[in-house]
Amino acid sequence: MIVSDIQDAINTQIKNEYYSSYLYLSMAAYCETKNYPGFASWLRNQSDEELDHAMRLYDYILDRDGKVILEAIDQPPSEFGTLEEMFEEVLEHEKEVSSMINNLYELALSHNDHATSVELQWFIQEQVEEEKTASDLVEQIKQADGNKAALLMLDREVNGGATETSE
């Protein structure tokens, strides 16, 4: 059985993962309006990953005979400024999520909850990857220095080299 304060903290993290999904989906919609289908596709994929993370935590609570309590999700913003500003926000958000996961891990350690500690190690490793990817994108966008041709090439590259059309 999972300890109640760890269960509560994981339930809050489920909400945070859903918020991350909403945030990235909102950013994807913004990119669509700015005619960046590659960045939009990348952000949609990030949104899907965040949903997977939420469900992994959801299943973990249930596997530990805990109770999942879904909390309200805040509405994300719908305007993000420049592409550089938006991806700087992605990076800062990933750093914030890393901090949340680290706090959960510390809570698990304080309760000697080794099972939760091990489960959270996967999230810690995932966050290293997420921060690195976001940081790389921020740097590449900065290198484009507002050059529309360079940004369009990066947009195509982020989308695997193809443009995606909406149906």
pLDDT tens digits for 43-98? Answer: 999 999 999 999 999 999 999 999 999 999 999 999 999 999 999 999 999 999 99
The answer to whether the CB of 44 falls within 8 A of the CB of 24 is yes
For residue 116, what pLDDT is reported? 98
Architecture label for domain 4-70+80-158: Up-down Bundle (1.20)
N- to C-terminal Cα separation, the chain: 46
Query: In this structure, what DSSP letter does residue 161 have?
Result: T
Across 2-69, the runs of DSSP E, i.e. the strands, are none
For residue 101, what pLDDT is reported? 98
Every domain of the chain and the residues it spans: 4-70+80-158
pTM: 0.92
For residue 159, what pLDDT is reported? 77
The answer to whether the CB of 10 falls within 8 A of the CB of 57 is yes
Return mean pLDDT, the chain: 95
Which sign, positive or negative, has the C-alpha torsion 16, 22, 25, 29? negative
Q: How many residues does the chain have?
A: 167
| Residues 103-139: b if buried by 16+ CB within 10 A, e if exposed | ebbebbeeeebeebbebbeebeebbeebbeebbebbe
Across 52-96, the runs of DSSP E, i.e. the strands, are none
